[in-house]
Structure 1
Amino acid sequence: MSVSSVQERGTSALQDASIPSTPPLGSASRGANALSSRITSVLSASYADLEIRDALETLDARGVRNTAETRRQIRLDVQKEVIQCNGEIVKDFGQVAEQLRRIGTAISSLNNYCADMRSHIAAANRETSPVLEEATSLMNQRKHVETKQQILHAFNSHFLVLDQEATVLTSTVEPVNEEFFQVLTRVKKIHHDCQVLLGTEDQRLGLEVLEQSSKQLNAAFQKLYRWIQREFRTLDLENPQISASVRRSLRVLAERPTLFQSCLDSFAEARESILSDSFHAALTGLASEEHIVTKPIEFYAHDPLRYIGDMLAWVHSTTVSEREALENLFISDGDEIKRSIQEGLESEPWLRDEGAEMFDGRKALNQLVSRDLTSVARLLRQRTEQVIQSHEDATLAYKIANLIGFYKGTFAKLLGSDSEVLDVFDTLEASAMRQFRANMRDHVAAVQSELAVAPPDLSLPDFLDEALQTLKILAKSYDTSAAGTDDQEQGFQAVLAEALDPFLSGCVNLQKGMQQPDSAIFAINCLFAAKEALSAYSFASDRAEEMDETITEQVAQLVDYQHQYLLHESGLITLLEALSHITDSEESLKSIPELDAFKPDALVAASQQLDEFLPSALIDAAENLKKLRNRKMIQDITEEAAGSFCEDFELVESKMAAADDLTYDEDEEDEEQEPGLKDLFPRTSGEIRVLLS
C-alpha cells in the first residue's frame, strides 16, 4: 500500500468522524473516545517499522485498492487464504504419512528376511567349523614345512662349499685366477657369518662349519703364499706391466700378516741378490746373460771423483727404478694392503703388538727398497772408502764428501730420513771429512814450518794465496752440492775452520813482528783477499761480516797513524800538547801567550813549518799507505785523517782567537799593541781545509 493510500485512509477516517450522529450521551462519549484512540494510534504509528513496511509492500503487490469495501473485506480475504493454505498443507502431510506407512511395511519384511538368513548362516557355521579348523591346521603345517625347506636351501647355498669349489680353493694344481678369488671371498664370508650360527641354541652346526671354513681358508692362503713365492722368482720389475694378479694376491695375502711378512722377506732377499749382481756387473763389466754392461765404471772412470759419482748415479737410478716398480706392485691400489693387514690383525689379535705403529704403506715401501739395496750399499761403501783413503788431496776428499752429502739428501727425499741406506752415506761423508781434515792439517803443519816473514810489499803470503785458491774450489763444490739445504752456513763453518782459519792465524803471527802502518796494511790486504774469495757465496756471509769488522778495526789504526803523522809533520802537535791543560776560563786563556810554544819566535817557527808541510801533505801521507792494495781505501783513510787534523787545527785556532780577544780588551788604551797570536800564526781553518781537500 502506498503512502497516498494511507493518507486517503486517514482522510476518510476523519470524514467519518465528522459525520454528525445522535447517539445517546453515554454512547456518544464512548464512541468519541474510541475514535480518538483509533486516530491517535494511526497517527502515532511509525511507517519506518519493518513489519509495517513488509505488510504495505504485500498489499501493494496484490494490487488492493484503498476503498471502504476493500477495507471491510480484507480481513476475510486474508483469513480465507490462510485456511486454503493450511488445507493444502494437511493434504500434503496426508500423502507423506501414507508413504511412511508403506516404508514401515517394507522394513518389517526385510527384518523377517534377515532373521531367516541368520538362522541359516548359524546352521552352516556349525556344520563347517570342524572342516575349517582342520584346513587351517594343515595350511599352517604346510607353511612351516616350506619355511624349513627355504632355510635348508639358504643354509646349503650359503654355508656349504661344493667339492669342485673346494678343489679350486685348496688344490695346488688349480691356478690362482679369478675363480679362486671368488671362492676365497665366499669362504671368508661363510667364516664370518658363522657367528650367527654360534648365537643359536644348538652351536654344534656352527662349530662344524667354522672349523671346516677355517681349514679351507688356511689351505687357500698357503696355496696363495706358495704361488706368490713362485711368481716372485720370475717377476720382471723392469717391465712396467706387472701382472695385476700379483698385486691382487698381495692385497689378499696381507690378511695373513705373518705370511705377508715372510713373503716380503724372501722377496727382499731375492731382490738384494739381483741388485748386488747388477751393481758388480756395472762396476767390473763381468756380466752374465742377464746383466749386459757396455761401459764398466771401473775401466772408464779414471778420475776418482767421477768414479764415485758414477757409482752413486747408478745406485740412485736403480733405487728410483726399484721404488717405482715396487710402488706399482705394493701400493698402486691405494690403502688396500693396509686395510687387509688391519683386518688380519683384528681376526688374529694375538699377532698384534701393542707398541707397534699402524701399517704405513709408504714407509713399508721405503723399508723394502732399503733392504733391497743393503748389499749394494755395502759394496758402495767399500769402494768409496778405498778411494778416499788412497788419495791425500784435501780438495778431492772434500769434493767427495760434498758429492756424498748431495746424494744423501736425494736419497733422504726418496726413501725417507729413517732409511738404513742413509747410514752408509753418513759413514762415507764422515770418512771423507775426516780425510779432508787430516790432509788439511798436514798441509798446515808443513806451511807453519816454512813461515818466516811477510813479503816486502806486504802482499799475500804464498801459503795464504794458495789457501784462498783452494778455498774457492771448496766453496764452489759446497755451493753445488749443498744447494737447497736449510743450513748452508753452518755446514760451511767446518770448512772455514780447516781451510782458512789456520792460514789467517799464520798471517796474524807474521803481523805481530811488524810496526805500524805495515802491520795494519798487511792485515787488511790478507783480510780483503779472503773476503773477496768468500763474497760470491751467501753461505759465507757471516764470516765475511766478521772480516769486515776486523778490517774496520785495522782501518781505524791506520787513520790514527795518519792523523799522528799529519800532526807531527805539520808541527801542530807541539801547540796541541801545550793547550792540553788549557780550559775555557779567562784566566786559563790569558795564560796561553805565556806558554813556550806560543812565544813569538816559537809560534813563527811553527807557522813556517806548517806552510812548508801543507803543499805536499796529502801526497806524503798517502805515500805511507802505498802498500795497501785497495787504492780507494788509501784515499778514504787519508781524507779521514785530514778531517781529524782540521778539527785539531780549529781547536788551536779558537784558543788563540779567544786569547787575542782577551789581550786586546786589556790593552785597548795603549797606542801601540804587540802583535797577537793570530798575527804570528796567520793560517785559518778554512785555508787548511781547502789545502787538504
Structure 2
Amino acid sequence: MPRVAEKVTRRDSSLPAGQAGNYGSRGTTALSARITSVLSTSYADLDIRDVVETLDARGVHNTAETRRQLRLDVQKEVIRCNGEVVKDFGEVAEQLKRIGTAISSLNKYCRDMCNHIAAATKDTAPVLSDAKSLLDQRKQIEVKQQILRAVNTHFIISEEEMATLTSTALPVDEAFFQVLTRAKRIHHDSQVLLGTEDQKLGLEVLEQSSRQLNAAFQKLYRWIQSEFKTLDLENPQINASVRRSLRVLAERPTLFQACLDSFGDARENILSDAFHAALTGSTSNASHIATKPIEFHAHDPLRYVGDMLAWAHSATVSEREALEVLFISEGDEIKRSIQAGLESEPWLRTEGDQEVFDGRKALNQLVSRDLAGVARLLRQRTEQVIQSHDDATLAYKIANLIRFYKTTFVKLLGTESEVLDVFSHLEESAMRQFRGNMRDHVAAVQGEVTLPPADLSPPDFLEEALQMLRVLAKSYDTSVATVDGPEDGFMAVLSEALDPFLGGCENLQRGLEQPESEIFAINCLLAAKSVLAGYSFAKEKTSEIQDTISEHVSTLAEYQLRYLRHASGLRVLLEALSATSESVESVKAIPTLPAFQPEALVSVSQQLDDFLPSALIDAAEHIKRLRNRKMVHDITEEAARQFCEDFEFVESRILAADDLLTGVETQDEEDAGPARLRDLFPRTSGEIRVLLS
C-alpha cells in the first residue's frame, strides 16, 4: 500500500499545474477504485498462487525495472518455446514422409498378391464346387445308411427271433418274453412313423408287428392252457413263468378271460371229484385216499354236515392261497396289463365301466366258480340230511352250523360270492324244517295236556320245551351268528320254541283260581327265565318275562294284602272309613259309624290280637307252592308293609276323632260310655310293625 501511494503521488506531481486540479478529482476516484479492487482481490486464489510461485522460482525481484521488462521477458520465452516445438515437429514430419513411402510400397505388393489370388481362385472354383457336391452326397449317403441300420435294428425282427416268438415247438422262456417285449415296442414305435410324410413304412411295420403280436399271444394262450392242465396248486412253489405269462396275457383281455374260464372249468371238475372222493372214497382215477370217507365214519347227521362243510372250507382256503400266488402276488401288474389291453381294444370296454380290474374281486369270483361243483354236491347231501330227520333241535343245530360257515365264507370270498347263495338256501331249509317240526310238536302237546300239576310246578311239556330251548340257546351261543344281530336272530327261535309252550301254560292258568293261577304262571315264567338268563342275546325276552313276573307278583301281593285285611278284621274299619274325609264334621262322625260302635270295635280289636301272632306264617302258607322261596318272603313282606300303612291310616282317624271329642262333657256321667275310641282299639302301628316284621 505505501508503494501504491508513492506511485500515485509521483504521478500527480508530474502533471502540470493546470491539469493537476482536474486530475485531482479523477485521480481520487480511480485510486479509490484501484484500492477497492486490490483490497477485494483474494490472494488465496490458486492462479495467483501459481503465478507467485513461478515468479519466486525464477528469482524475479520486485523492482521497477523488473516490472517493466516482465512482459517482454515472458513473450520472449514463449517465442523461444514455440521455436523448439516447430523444430520438433519438423523432425516428426520427416519421419512421416519415410513411413508414407513404406506404405506405398506395401500397397503395391498387396495389389500384386490380390491379382495372383484372384487368378488362382478363378482356376480352382470348378474343382472346389465338384468337391463340395461330392462331400454333400457322401454325407447324405452316410445319414441314409445310419437310418437304414436303425430301422433294421429297431423295426425288423430276425427269422430266429420270429421263430422264438411264434413257433409252438419252442418253449415259452425268457427269450420269448424278451422278443415279445421288443415286438410290443416295435408296434408302439411304428405308430410314430404314421405321423411322418412317408406313412407307407409306418403302415407296413404296424401291420407286420400286429401279426407277430397276435401270433405270439396265441402261442402264449395255448401254452398257459397246457400248463394249467398239469398245474399242481398244492405245490407252494408254482412256476414263475405261469405267473408272468398270466400278467402278459392280461394285455389281451379276451384271451385272458377265456384262459380263466377254461381254468375255472378244470378246477371245478377237479374239486368236485376230490369232494366226491372225500365223501365216498371212490375216485375216477383210482388213486388211493389217505383218510377214511366222510360217509363211513360220520354217523351223526350233525357231524356229517360239519365234516362236509369243514372239507369245503379247507378246500376254499387252499384254493384261495394257491390262486393268490397266481393273481395277487404280482400286485397291480395284471390290472395295468388289462388297462393297456382295453386301451388298445376299446371295443371290449362295456358302457359304464368304473373299475377295469380288481384283483381281489376277480380272485373271489374265480374261487367261487371253482367251488360251484362242490357247492352243488354239498347242497344235495345237506338237504337230504335235513329232510330225513324230524328232530327240531338237529335242524336248528344244522342251521347254526351252516350260518357259522356262511360267515366264514363271507370273509374268504366276499358278500357277492355265488357260493353264499347255497349257504343261504341251506340255512333257510334247515330253519324251515325246524319251524315245521316245532309246530308239529306244539300241536301234539296242546292236545294231550288239559290240567296243570297239583303242586303248580311247570308242566312236563314246558320242561321238555325248556330243555330243548337250553340246547338251542347253547347252539346259538357257540355260533358266529351272535356277532350280527344276536337278539333278532334268536327271537325267531323263541317265537317257535318257547312262546307256544308259554301260551299253553296261560291256557292252563285260566282254569285256576287265585292265588293258584298266579303261582302257576310265576313258576312257569321263572323256569323259562332261568334257561335264558345266562345268554346276552336273549336279554330282551328275559326282560319281557321279568315284566310279566312282576305283574303276577303284584297280583299276589294284592291277594296277600286282602287276606291280611280280612283275617285281621281291619277290612271292616277300612270300608267304614272309605266314605269319610279329613273334614272336622266327617271326623266327628266316625264314632257314630256302626263299625266304630264299642261292641264292634272291641270285636275287631280282639280279632286283630288273635291274628297277629301267626299272621305272616298263615299268609305265606297260601303261596307256599311258589317255587322261589325268596319271592314268597318278599311278596308277604310287601303285603305286610301295605297292611301296616292301612293300619296307620285307621289309627290316625281314630286319634283324630278322639282329639275332637276330648273336651266334650256329658250331662249324665253315670250313663256315659267310654269317651275314647283309643281305649276300645288300643293297638298301635309300632306294635303292628314289630309283630309283622
Q: TM-score, normalised by structure 1?
A: 0.87
Q: In 1, are the aligned partners of 2:476 and 2:482 still within 8 Å (CA)?
A: no
Aligned twin of 1:389? 387
Shift of 1:94: 7.1
Partners of 1:327 and 1:684 in 2: CA distance: 88
Q: Which moved more, 1:378-387 or 1:660-669?
A: 660-669
Partners of 2:173 and 2:91 in 1: CA distance: 98
Q: Deviation digits for residues 27-79 of structure 1, max 9, x if unmatched? A: 594777766666555555566x5548956994899698998799969967988
Partners of 2:55 and 2:680 in 1: CA distance: 157
Q: Which moved more, 1:174-183 or 1:206-215?
A: 206-215
Q: In 2, are the aligned partners of 1:64 and 1:70 still within 8 Å (CA)?
A: no
Aligned twin of 2:480? 482
Q: Which moved more, 1:138-147 or 1:558-567?
A: 138-147
Partners of 1:645 and 1:182 in 2: CA distance: 103
Partners of 1:547 and 1:134 in 2: CA distance: 119
**TM-aligned CA distance change 1:119 to 1:652, over 3 Å:** farther
Q: In 1, are the aligned partners of 2:573 and 2:650 still within 8 Å (CA)?
A: yes
**TM-aligned CA distance change 1:121 to 1:290, over 3 Å:** farther
Aligned twin of 1:282? 278
Asked if 1:314 corresponds to 2:311, the answer is: yes
Matches within 5 A, 1:503-514: 503-514=501-512
Shift of 1:480: 1.1
Partners of 2:446 and 2:69 in 1: CA distance: 164
**TM-aligned CA distance change 1:21 to 1:346, over 3 Å:** closer
Partners of 2:209 and 2:644 in 1: CA distance: 108
Asked if 1:650 corresponds to 2:648, the answer is: yes
Asked if 1:660 corresponds to 2:641, the answer is: no
Shift of 1:638: 2.7
Aligned twin of 1:6? none
2:568 partner amino acid: S
Aligned twin of 2:566? 568
Partners of 2:187 and 2:660 in 1: CA distance: 123
Shift of 1:406: 0.7
**TM-aligned CA distance change 1:199 to 1:689, over 3 Å:** same
Matches within 5 A, 1:325-364: 325-354=322-351, 358-364=356-362
Aligned twin of 1:7? none
User: Secondary structure of the equivalent of 1:454?
Assistant: coil
Shift of 1:82: 7.6
Aligned twin of 1:295? 292
Q: In 2, are the aligned partners of 1:489 and 1:539 still within 8 Å (CA)?
A: yes
Aligned twin of 2:142? 146
Aligned twin of 2:535? 537
Partners of 1:646 and 1:74 in 2: CA distance: 165
Select which of 606, 609, 618 maps to 2:604.
Answer: 606
Aligned twin of 2:419? 421
RMSD (CA atoms): 3.7
Asked if 1:180 corresponds to 2:140, the answer is: no
**TM-aligned CA distance change 1:19 to 1:355, over 3 Å:** closer
Q: In 2, are the aligned partners of 1:527 and 1:551 still within 8 Å (CA)?
A: yes
Shift of 1:414: 0.8
**TM-aligned CA distance change 1:67 to 1:54, over 3 Å:** closer
Q: In 2, are the aligned partners of 1:656 and 1:677 still within 8 Å (CA)?
A: yes
1:676 partner amino acid: R
Q: Which moved more, 1:356-365 or 1:325-334?
A: 356-365
Shift of 1:436: 1.8
Q: In 2, are the aligned partners of 1:285 and 1:293 still within 8 Å (CA)?
A: no
Partners of 2:374 and 2:272 in 1: CA distance: 5
Partners of 1:624 and 1:65 in 2: CA distance: 168
Select which of 441, 459, 462 maps to 2:460.
Answer: 462
Q: In 2, are the aligned partners of 1:482 and 1:488 still within 8 Å (CA)?
A: no
Partners of 1:113 and 1:556 in 2: CA distance: 148
Shift of 1:241: 0.9
Shift of 1:321: 0.8
User: Secondary structure of the equivalent of 2:493?
Assistant: helix
Q: In 2, are the aligned partners of 1:560 and 1:641 still within 8 Å (CA)?
A: yes
Q: Deviation digits for residues 482-520 of structure 1, max 9, x if unmatched? A: 256321221112211111111111111111112222222
Partners of 2:202 and 2:373 in 1: CA distance: 52
Aligned twin of 2:681? 681
Partners of 1:559 and 1:61 in 2: CA distance: 152
- Please, which runs of 5 or more residues in structure 1 have no aligned partner? 1-9
Q: Deviation digits for residues 557-612 of structure 1, max 9, x if unmatched? A: 12222222222222222222212222233332322222112223222322333333
Q: In 2, are the aligned partners of 1:282 and 1:293 still within 8 Å (CA)?
A: no
Select which of 592, 595, 615 maps to 1:594.
Answer: 592
Q: In 1, are the aligned partners of 2:529 and 2:545 still within 8 Å (CA)?
A: yes
Q: In 2, are the aligned partners of 1:394 and 1:437 still within 8 Å (CA)?
A: yes
Aligned length: 683
1:306 partner amino acid: R
Percent identical pairs in the alignment equals: 69
Asked if 1:494 corresponds to 2:497, the answer is: no
Partners of 1:688 and 1:281 in 2: CA distance: 84
Q: Which moved more, 1:382-391 or 1:172-181?
A: 382-391
**TM-aligned CA distance change 1:529 to 1:51, over 3 Å:** same
1:341 partner amino acid: I
Q: Which moved more, 1:425-434 or 1:503-512?
A: 425-434
**TM-aligned CA distance change 1:628 to 1:109, over 3 Å:** farther
Q: Deviation digits for residues 512-563 of structure 1, max 9, x if unmatched? A: 1122222222222222222221122111111111112212211221222222
**TM-aligned CA distance change 1:143 to 1:46, over 3 Å:** closer
Q: Deviation digits for residues 250-287 of structure 1, max 9, x if unmatched? A: 22223333333332222222222222222222223335
Partners of 2:216 and 2:511 in 1: CA distance: 90
**TM-aligned CA distance change 1:448 to 1:104, over 3 Å:** farther
Partners of 2:207 and 2:156 in 1: CA distance: 12
Q: TM-score, normalised by structure 2?
A: 0.87
Asked if 1:238 corresponds to 2:260, the answer is: no
Aligned twin of 1:270? 266
Q: Deviation digits for residues 391-422 of structure 1, max 9, x if unmatched? A: 22222221111111111111121112222222
Partners of 1:205 and 1:43 in 2: CA distance: 108
Q: In 1, are the aligned partners of 2:316 and 2:367 still within 8 Å (CA)?
A: yes
Partners of 2:563 and 2:31 in 1: CA distance: 164
Partners of 1:616 and 1:86 in 2: CA distance: 170
- Please, which runs of 5 or more residues in structure 2 have no aligned partner? none
User: Secondary structure of the equivalent of 1:417?
Assistant: coil
Matches within 5 A, 1:126-137: 126-137=122-133
